[in-house]
Structure 1
Amino acid sequence: MPRRALRHEVLLVLAVSLGASAVGALISFSGVLTRPGGLGEQTATLNASRAPDRPWLDLAWQLFGIATDLAPVLLVAHLLLRERAAGGYGGGGLRLLGFDARRPRSDLARGAVVAAGIGGSGLLLYLGAHAAGASLTVVPESLPDVWWKFPVLIASALENAVLEEVVVLGYLLRRLSQLGWTPTGALLASALLRGSYHLYQGLGGFFGNAVMGVIFVWLYRRWGRVMPLVVAHALIDIVAFVGYALLADHVDWLPTG
């Protein structure tokens, strides 16, 4: 594809996905900074109820949000299939990024190890940033206590993992390489974008996720597969969402807003 067409494609994909989220997070962070009180006194809720007194309507909204957030992943799959077809090859799609089930044991094992390392250090970083006043109080969920609460939290974690790692890791690095970016430049772009759409959590969320982005890019290039990082991200978010729901009312070390 011509370089100009590739640039336009990347900008459009980001505009309907995490690029737009980064702009929204920046606007949200600006509003927080100009609001009375420190960052630690304000709250960012991740999985909020849309209709607290109407559980079936709330469930419909939750599932609708998860499904529509995955639309950019389908767009990327379509674009990669077209790229493969234009090159005269069959197959392709998300398999070009290593998003498939060809190596389940290896992907699960690697993902679990990465999740354990990054999840634990990320929690310590968040607690430290919150204590220092550099992070908002992040409330991973505020869903009602209904039968679908935990399945929705798990589905939300899976959606986050697939969207972020397919778009910001696999797709973006592939396209920036095709555009002639240096490996270092592409790494910084991916990591800074990841940090930017977490700015709504404060500076701690920005820097913590940017560092995570650097590690994920390095591992992706080493393994050549995005799936282990999808597994790692999903496990981190599942533990955060479900763990918060189970522990928030029973421990005093976890900020709850």
Structure 2
Amino acid sequence: MSSLSSTAAGRWFSPPSPVTAPITDPRLRRLVGTEVLVVLTVTLGLSALRSALSLIDAVLQPVPLNQQEVALNAPQAQAGLVDLALQLTRVLQLVGWGALGAYLLIRAGVALRDVGLDRRRPGRDALGAAGLAALIGVPGLGLYLVARAIGVSLTVEPSTLGDTWWRLPVLILSAAANAWAEEVVMLGYLITRLRQLGWSENRSLVAQALLRGSYHLYQGLGGFIGNIVMGLVFGRVWQRTNRLWMQIGAHTLIDVVAFIGYAALAGKVGWLP
């Protein structure tokens, strides 16, 4: 279905705002399509290309994938304060990506409340975030361990930062910035713009899920599949509830547990690579 105006669609998805209805003007459609391509090129779409190339390089190495390592939060400089500055620069970049998506929606006449970025129901959003985090986080860890065991995923190290005074706050900021960038761009921005281009809800959902999986290809097959599933679940929940803070909160919780949990448990438990 290309529109949410039908009775059947209304049962399954949040009613559309007039500003997110399909655009009929050909010139405006071309401009919106170009905007989407530009945004993805400078943000997560470019990350997907780099990630795919990284996986190709890993596959071509003589060492099996599960014997290769990739760090999500690694030192960027030898000098401690310079490293801190570079870590915060990366956080700022991610915040900027999400802000770009939000800004372009506002410029297009889409209020942030139209995509669920408001403060009307913080308690329910928090509970929803916790539920989504549990739904995705635990099976996701299992999928990663299985994929690594059968040799189709790299060994992912969520953090290799040294035990510095700023490690904990930087890991939390990194988790929140990742969540903000991915969920605002992939769900709030991309699916809204695809709706305006006349894409169906299912087609938009699958497209953003595949892109989400693609920019995690550097982790191997486990990261690719796991994030596709995450994208499908997060996207469908957003389409039905129109509450984006739930996905941002859930994503933040998942990453905080992964980053800090790994930093605390690495080398102390046998099941953690």
TM-score normalised by L of structure 2: 0.88
Return the letter of the residue paired with 2:233: I
Number of equivalent positions:
247
C-alpha contact (below 8 Å) 2:102/2:184 kept by paired residues: no
Q: Deviations over 1:76-106 (max 9, x none)?
A: 222112111xxxxxxx543331123322101
Q: CA deviation at 1:212?
A: 1.0
> Residues of 2 paired with 1:94 and 1:160: CA distance?
19
> Residues of 1 paired with 2:92 and 2:159: CA distance?
18
Q: CA deviation at 1:74?
A: 1.8
1:254 and 2:269 equivalent? Answer: no
The aligned counterpart of 1:55 is 80
Q: Percent identity?
A: 51
SS, match of residue 188 in structure 1: helix
User: Equivalent residues in 2 for 1:164-183 (5 A)?
Assistant: 164-183=182-201
Q: CA deviation at 1:155?
A: 0.3
Q: CA deviation at 1:29?
A: 0.5
Q: Deviations over 1:197-244 (max 9, x none)?
A: 000000111011101111111100111111101000000000000000
> Residues of 2 paired with 1:110 and 1:128: CA distance?
28
Match of 1:6 among 32, 36, 43: 32
The aligned counterpart of 1:89 is none
CA RMSD of aligned residues (A): 1.1
Match of 1:162 among 170, 173, 180: 180
Match of 2:98 among 73, 78, 86: 73
Q: Deviations over 1:115-143 (max 9, x none)?
A: 01210000011001110111100000011
> Residues of 2 paired with 1:245 and 1:227: CA distance?
27
TM-score normalised by L of structure 1: 0.93
1:224 and 2:242 equivalent? Answer: yes
Return the letter of the residue paired with 1:111: A
> Residues of 2 paired with 1:243 and 1:55: CA distance?
22
SS, match of residue 245 in structure 1: helix
> Residues of 2 paired with 1:80 and 1:220: CA distance?
16
Return the letter of the residue paired with 2:158: P
The aligned counterpart of 1:204 is 222
The aligned counterpart of 2:129 is 111
C-alpha contact (below 8 Å) 2:114/2:242 kept by paired residues: no
1:64 and 2:89 equivalent? Answer: yes
The aligned counterpart of 1:82 is 107
SS, match of residue 232 in structure 1: helix
Q: Deviations over 1:137-157 (max 9, x none)?
A: 000001111110010000000
User: Which runs of 5 or more residues in structure 1 are unaligned?
Assistant: 85-91
1:192 and 2:218 equivalent? Answer: no
